[in-house]
Structure 1
Amino acid sequence: MPLFASRTPLRALVSALALACGLTALVPLTAQAAASAAAVAAASVKAVQPATVRVDYMHSGNALNENYALERVVIEPLPWPGDVRRAIDDTNRGNNMLEVVDSKTGELLYSRGFSTVFAEWRTTEEAQHANRGFQESVRFPKPDRPVRVRILKRDDRNAFSVVWTAEIDSDAMDVVRKLPAAPVKPIAIRVNGPSPQKVDLLIVGDGYTAAEMPKFEASARKLADHLFATSPFKERASDFNVWALALPTAESGVSRPSTGVHHASPLGTRYDIFGSERYVLTTDNRALRELAQYAPYEFIEILVNNETYGGGGIFGQFSTAAANNDWANYLFVHEFGHHFAGLADEYYTSPVAYQSGTARPEPWEPNATALRDPDHIKWKRFVAAGTPLPTPWPKQTYETASRAYQKERAALRAAQRPEAEMSALFKKDLAESTALFTPDPHYHSVGAFEGANYEASGYYRPQMQCIMFDRSEKFCAVCADAISTIIDLYSRPPAQ
C-alpha cells in the first residue's frame, strides 16, 4: 500500500481552522458560508492528511528536443486536498503522466495525467527555429520515504515512456518548508464537505484592483452557478468545493499586446498567446502556484477582468476566461472542459496558433478520433445500431457559412470594433448553425462527424453539436461521460 507522511491531527485542525477564519479577508462571511467553513474545519479534525509536496522545474527545448531541470521542492502550507486512497490515475488522459515511485522498490505511489503549455508551444512556427523554457510544477501527497519523480510523455503510438526522472527526498535540508503568510485569504464559494472527499476548484482573479474585489467575487459566484447548471456538473454539484482568490492590481484588466495594452498583474495572464488574439494564458507558473497554494485546490480557473472575448485551457494545469464578456458563461465552461477533463476542441474553422501536419494520429482526448477502426470506435457504447460511421451531416453548407463568418470576425477585430458587435456576430453564427443542424436526421445521434481537433478532414467528433464544437449550451454524451470519469477520480460517494 502507498504510504504517505501524515500531519498530526492537531496540525490538521490548526490548518483547517486558519483557513476557515481567513475566509473574511476580502468580503464579510455570510452565516451560511461560516457554517460551511466550520463544518470543513470540524471534519478535518478526523482526517489525518499528508502534507502537499510541489516540485517546480523548468521544461525547455524546441520542436525537436526537450529538456528538464529541477528548480526546487516545496512543502505547501495546506494539507493534501485529495483522497490518498485514489492515488493512481487510470483515466489515460493527457500528453504527459506524473509518476511518483518508491526509490528502492519501484512501487508506484501516485500518478496523474496532465498536459503542458510547452507541448502546445512546440507545435507553433516559432518552435521550429527557437528555444524556449516554461516553468512547470507537479504536486503530490508527501511520502514517508525518498521517491523518484518521473515525467512520462506519449509517443506516436499513444504509449507513455519516461522522459525525465528526479530523486526527491521531501525531508531533505534544501526543501522549502517555511513560506510567507498568505497575502490574501480564499473566499468560500461552495463548500460541500471535507476536501479529500470533494473536487476542489479554485477560481483565481487577475487584473482586479482592490476596489474591484467585490466584482471579482460576484463573477466567481455567477460563473460557478452556471457551471453547476450545466450537465453533468449539475448532477454532481455536491461533489465539488469552490474557492476564490485574487491579489489586487494597480490597474484594471490584463495585457492585450496586439492592441498596445500592457498591464502589470500578479499572474501575468494575457491575451495573444502564441500569436492568437483570443488565446489567454499565463506563462508564469511560479506566480500562479505561489498564490494558489493558500487555498485547497486540484483545478484552477483564472478569471481575467476584461471584456474582450478570450480564454484558454490546459489539461491538469489551469483554464482561463474573460469574466466581463457577454459569452463568459460559455468561455468558463468550455475552457474548464479542456482543463478538467482533457476534452479536445471539436471546432475546425477558426484560426489557431498550432501548425498541423499531414499525419492523423489517434488523439488521446476522449472526444476526438481518427476513426481508424469504425467497428471499435472509442465511444462505441454510445453509438446506436445502424448509425453510419462516418456519420453524414451538412458539412459543406456549414463550412461555406463559416468561411463568411470568420472573414467578418477577422474584419471586426482588425478594425477594433466594439465588443458588442463581435458578440452580436457570435449570436448570429450560433443561431444559423443551430437552424442548419436541428432538422438533420442525425442531429441527436452519437456517431463520427468529420471535422474536429482543428482539422476539416481526418478527425471526427461524437455529435453534430456540443459545447466543445460551438457556443451551444450542452456537452455531447461522450464529453459528459468523460467529465464524469474525472469527477469520480477525485470525489468518492458517501459511505453507505
Structure 2
Amino acid sequence: MFRFFPRLLAAASLVAAGLAQAAQPATVRVDYTHSGNALSDSYALEQVLVEPLPWPGDTTRNLDNTNRGQNRVEVADAKTGDLLYSRDFSTIFGEWRTTDEATKISRGFSESVRFPKPDRPVRVRILKRDERNAFSVAWSVEIDTDAPDVVRKQPAAPATPIPIRVSGPSPQKVDLLVLGDGYTQADMKKFETDARRLAAHLFTVSPFKERADDFNVWALAVLTLESGVSRPSTGVHHASKLGTRYDIFGSERYVLTLDNRALREIAQYAPYEFIEILVNNETYGGGGIFGQFSTAAASNEWADYLFVHEFGHHFAGLADEYYTSPVAYAASSTRMEPWEPNATALRDPANLKWAKHVKAGTPLPTPWPKAEYEEYSRAYQKRRAALRAANRPESEMNALFREDLARTKALFAKQPYRQMIGAFEGANYEVKGYYRPAMQCIMFDRSEAFCPVCQDGITDIIDLYAGVKQR
C-alpha cells in the first residue's frame, strides 16, 4: 500500500538509532481549542495522549530562555510549583486575530503542546504577551499523565519515515521533519527527491551550514489521490490528510494547514521538534509560524528561497523584514518593541538589541534609498497583482521575481551602508516605525543569505536544542 514498505526495516532501525538514549521519557501531547476574536480569547482541553515515540529532546535543556514568540508553555510540578519544562511559540490564532475577519466573528483553532512525560501530576500553563510585552498566564490546567482517560494507544503509522540525514541520537540533535502534502502514489519518488534537495540547500546557508552536524532530518508523506493542494481562489480543491492549502486569511500566496490535529497525528510517527511541509505545487507560496511549522511550494522556481525563508519564521521566530507586499494583517496602532530578534521600534538607539554588530559611527536610523525603493516596489506590486488576477503562467511570475531581485541588488550595490548592520526603516510589514538590521537579507527579499543578526537568532535556537558550540 505504501511506497516506503521495501525500506521499512531499514528506516525503522534508523529511527530507533536517532532516538537512542538511556531512559528517554515518553512524549506527552496536550491538544486544546483556542477560540475567540480580536478582543478576547479562551481555551478548552480536548485530550491528553502519549505519542508512539519517545521524547526526542535533551531533558537537560528543558527550559527555554530565548524569549521569543507570542506564547509560552510551562509545565510545573502540581504540588511544589517547580518548573519542569518551557518552550516559547506562536499560533495561527494569534495571526488570525489581527485580521479584519476577527473584528467581526469568533473562531476556534486546535493547538497542541508537547513535553517529556513527567513522573507526577503537573500544571500546564499557556502564557501570552501582555500590554507590557511580558508573558502572563492565559490558561492553566492540571494534568495527570497517568490518568485513565489519557490516550496511550495510537493507530498504525500511515506511512514510514525516510531518514534524510541522521547525525546522531535525537536528544543531542535538532530533529527536523519534512512532511509532504499533495503527493500521490506516483509522486512518492518526487517527494523524496524534493525533500532531499531542499534539506540539502538549507545546509548551504549560514548558520545552518556550520551547524549541519547538529541536525537530523526525516521525511514522511501520506498519499493523496490528486497531485497538489487546494488553491480555493482558482477553484482548485483537493482532499488530503494534512489539509494544507493556499489563500489562508485571503492571501493568495499564504500556505498553511488549519488542521492542527491532523498535522500532529501524522507527525507523531517520526522524531521531530520542527516541521516543514512541502506542497507538491508550482505556484509560489509558503508560510511559517514560530514553533509550529513552515510550508513551501516544492515545485516553484523559488523553492530554495521559500524553504529557507519560511523556516526562518518557524525555527527562530524571525520577523518578515519586507513591508511593501500586501498581507492579511491589520496594522497595529502602537509601536511596541517586537519580540522578534531582527526587528526593532528603535525607541532607544543607545541600547539597540543588536548593538554588538553595529560599527562605531554608523547612524541610527541608517540611511538607505528608501523612497526610490518604494517607488519601484509600488509599480512591481501592481504588475504582480495583475499577473495573479489574470492567472498567467507561473513562468511569468518567476521572471518578474528575478527582475525585482536584480533591480533591488543594483539599487543597493553602491550604497555606503550596503554591507553594514544598522537600523534601516521599513520592516515587519510597516513603512514607518519599525527597523531591520541590514539593507538586504533573506527575510527582506529573495536574496541568498541571512544577515548576522538573523544568524544569531537562528544559532540561539540551535544551541537550545543541540547545545552551545564554540563561536
After TM superposition, the structure 1 stretch with the greater mean CA deviation from structure 2, 353-362 or 296-305, is 353-362
Corresponding letter in the other structure for 2:302: W
Local SS of the residue matching 1:312: strand
CA 1:494 to 1:409, structure 2 compared with 1: closer, same or farther past 3 Å?
closer
The equivalent of 1:468 in structure 2 is 443
Cα distance between partner residues in 1 of 2:330 and 2:50 = 39
Local SS of the residue matching 2:227: coil
TM-aligned CA deviation for residue 156 of structure 1: 2.0
Q: Following superposition, which runs of at least 4 residues in structure 1 exceed 4 angstroms of deviation?
A: 27-30, 36-40, 42-46
The equivalent of 2:314 in structure 1 is 339
The equivalent of 1:225 in structure 2 is 200
The equivalent of 2:4 in structure 1 is 26
Compute the RMSD of aligned alpha carbons: 1.7
TM-aligned CA deviation for residue 438 of structure 1: 1.5
TM-aligned CA deviation for residue 41 of structure 1: 3.8
1:176-206 Cα offsets, whole Å, 9 max, x none, are 0011111111000000000000000000000
- Matches of residues 60-209 of structure 1 in structure 2 within 5 Å? 60-209=35-184
Query: 1:88 touches 1:111 (CA, 8 Å); kept in 2?
Result: yes
Match status 1:281 vs 2:256: yes
Corresponding letter in the other structure for 1:131: S
Cα distance between partner residues in 2 of 1:95 and 1:411 = 35
The equivalent of 1:16 in structure 2 is none
TM-aligned CA deviation for residue 419 of structure 1: 0.2
TM-aligned CA deviation for residue 155 of structure 1: 1.0
Match status 1:453 vs 2:428: yes
Local SS of the residue matching 2:402: helix
1:136-179 Cα offsets, whole Å, 9 max, x none, are 00000000000000000001221000000011100000000011
Local SS of the residue matching 1:171: coil
With normalisation by structure 2, the TM-score equals: 0.97
Match status 1:433 vs 2:400: no
Local SS of the residue matching 1:72: strand
Local SS of the residue matching 1:56: strand
Cα distance between partner residues in 2 of 1:90 and 1:468 = 23
Cα distance between partner residues in 1 of 2:446 and 2:416 = 21
Corresponding letter in the other structure for 2:42: N
2:270 to 258, 282, 295: 295
Query: 2:19 touches 2:171 (CA, 8 Å); kept in 1?
Result: no
The equivalent of 1:9 in structure 2 is none
Cα distance between partner residues in 1 of 2:203 and 2:20 = 29
TM-aligned CA deviation for residue 28 of structure 1: 5.4
Cα distance between partner residues in 2 of 1:249 and 1:109 = 40
TM-aligned CA deviation for residue 47 of structure 1: 2.2
Corresponding letter in the other structure for 1:330: Y
TM-aligned CA deviation for residue 482 of structure 1: 0.4
Cα distance between partner residues in 2 of 1:486 and 1:321 = 21
Local SS of the residue matching 1:295: coil
1:381-409 Cα offsets, whole Å, 9 max, x none, are 11111100000000001000100100000
- Matches of residues 34-45 of structure 1 in structure 2 within 5 Å? 41=16
Cα distance between partner residues in 2 of 1:174 and 1:61 = 27
Cα distance between partner residues in 1 of 2:242 and 2:91 = 17
CA 1:408 to 1:494, structure 2 compared with 1: closer, same or farther past 3 Å?
closer
The equivalent of 1:7 in structure 2 is none
Cα distance between partner residues in 2 of 1:494 and 1:381 = 19
Local SS of the residue matching 2:421: coil
Cα distance between partner residues in 1 of 2:416 and 2:12 = 50
CA 1:45 to 1:468, structure 2 compared with 1: closer, same or farther past 3 Å?
closer
CA 1:241 to 1:253, structure 2 compared with 1: closer, same or farther past 3 Å?
same
